[in-house]
A = this chain, B = another copy of it.
């Protein structure tokens, strides 16, 4: 088989706001080869990721992603790896390339799974897929009272783990942060697991982050996530050295190296990988292998649709000890409607990856039509991309 077509569907809510909710738009990717097709999703900024696929070549090491993908043979996982290596070399100077490639790579695994009639986790070498305990991933409220309500609501919905992120934390005084942390714990009750994500708010200020450690330990937080930018490894290491609680990070990793760096140099205890950014399922699986070998816990990162959720769980589906998983708690309608089926929690609150071929997720083409963004890119008098030419 050869890769005959790669189609991008830029979807968006009618209104996009500045809240830190990544489910407000989506870039869906469909790859066609032979009689089969697979679906994937790229994380963030659809227009820019499409541009990285269709842009004119700048030079030999700055080729559009399309040049390394279209027409390539695709008969097994080794072909995915070969194409990935080609992109790493031929699109070396195209910074956005890993985000674009991530969605395509996921779609290729989905496609191969359909061809072989096997779930992706089997193609990855796992004999079994173990249930994961989802944590409800949501933003802090604007006030501690709101945070309390959100925590109570998640608990009422039978979530046994909840992560709060972003919002006001680190933007005001210590007392406000403390109030939010305590409100979260009170809303959850004392048995549920609580994680806190501060969205890189402290830049490189280790002391500012350290000032929150006693509060977080007091409410029994499992981890502190992203106190600093993904690459501020020295800051991660300095904070880890003075924290009994483990640090978490990695969603910004756009290659396997960055995931390794957070483990080797940043000393995180949880490495969080988004298959929609790191280059897809292949490098995410290698990151999971590396986590195993270094006694660090692998966790998926995902905040959008259940297609992205399924993709993000495959790399560590067979790793029983890594039980916890991120689970979008209240995504926008777009992210919810994008798929016909969903990874529902069972009575004990666990999620199970489908045994059906590929990613096991059915796309809702009706939703695509509803949320599709009208986009056209023309350069050098040629239409490089037009949503009008898309079929589904």
Q: What are the residues of chain B within 8 A of A265 when measuring CB–CB?
A: 233, 261, 264-265
Report Cα–Cα, A200/B89, bound state, in Å. Answer: 7
Asked if A63 contacts B96 (CB within 8 A), the reply is: no
**A16's contact among B54, B57, B96, by CB below 8 Å, is which?**
B57
Stretch at the interface among A111-119, A147-155, A252-260, A309-317: A252-260
A85, A96, A200, A203 pick with most chain B CB within 10 angstroms = A96
Tell me whether A389 is interfacial, beta carbon within 8 Å.
no
CB distance from A99 to the nearest CB of B (A): 5
Q: What are the residues of chain B within 8 A of A63 when measuring CB–CB?
A: 18
CB distance from A142 to the nearest CB of B (A): 14
Asked if A61 contacts B379 (CB within 8 A), the reply is: no
Assembly of this chain: how many copies? 2
Given contacts A92-B200, A379-B375, contact A48 B48 (CB under 8 A): yes
Report Cα–Cα, A35/B57, bound state, in Å. Answer: 36
CB distance from A238 to the nearest CB of B (A): 13
**A46's contact among B58, B96, B374, by CB below 8 Å, is which?**
B58
Asked if B18 contacts A229 (CB within 8 A), the reply is: no
Tell me whether A44 is interfacial, beta carbon within 8 Å.
yes
Tell me whether A20 is interfacial, beta carbon within 8 Å.
yes
Report Cα–Cα, A242/B88, bound state, in Å. Answer: 26
Report Cα–Cα, A231/B260, bound state, in Å. Answer: 10
Report Cα–Cα, A255/B229, bound state, in Å. Answer: 11
Tell me whether A34 is interfacial, beta carbon within 8 Å.
no
Instruction: Summarize A's interface: helix, strand, loop or mixed.
Output: loop
Report Cα–Cα, A333/B22, bound state, in Å. Answer: 44
Asked if A55 contacts B59 (CB within 8 A), the reply is: no
Tell me whether A52 is interfacial, beta carbon within 8 Å.
yes
Report Cα–Cα, A199/B90, bound state, in Å. Answer: 11
Report Cα–Cα, A46/B25, bound state, in Å. Answer: 24
Tell me whether A343 is interfacial, beta carbon within 8 Å.
no
Asked if A58 contacts B85 (CB within 8 A), the reply is: no
Interface residue tally for chain A (C-beta within 8 Å) = 69
Tell me whether A56 is interfacial, beta carbon within 8 Å.
yes
**A45's contact among B52, B231, B376, B384, by CB below 8 Å, is which?**
B52
Report Cα–Cα, A46/B58, bound state, in Å. Answer: 8
Contacting B at CB under 8 A, from A336-353, are none
Report Cα–Cα, A89/B92, bound state, in Å. Answer: 24
Contacting B at CB under 8 A, from A260-300, are 260-261, 264-265, 277
Q: What are the residues of chain B within 8 A of A47 when measuring CB–CB?
A: 51, 54-56, 377, 379, 384
Tell me whether A305 is interfacial, beta carbon within 8 Å.
no
Asked if B62 contacts A12 (CB within 8 A), the reply is: no
Tell me whether A373 is interfacial, beta carbon within 8 Å.
yes
Q: What are the residues of chain B within 8 A of A10 when measuring CB–CB?
A: 379
**A94's contact among B24, B48, B381, by CB below 8 Å, is which?**
B48
Q: What are the residues of chain B within 8 A of A277 when measuring CB–CB?
A: 95
- Can you sample 19 A-B contacts with CB below 8 Å? A12-B380, A16-B56, A16-B57, A16-B59, A22-B58, A22-B62, A22-B93, A24-B58, A45-B96, A60-B166, A88-B229, A89-B200, A89-B201, A92-B200, A95-B254, A234-B260, A264-B265, A265-B265, A375-B378
A contact residues vs B (CB 8 Å cutoff): 10, 12, 16-22, 24-25, 43-48, 51-52, 54-63, 85, 88-89, 92-96, 98-99, 166, 199-201, 203, 229, 231-234, 252, 254-255, 257-258, 260-261, 264-265, 277, 373-381, 384
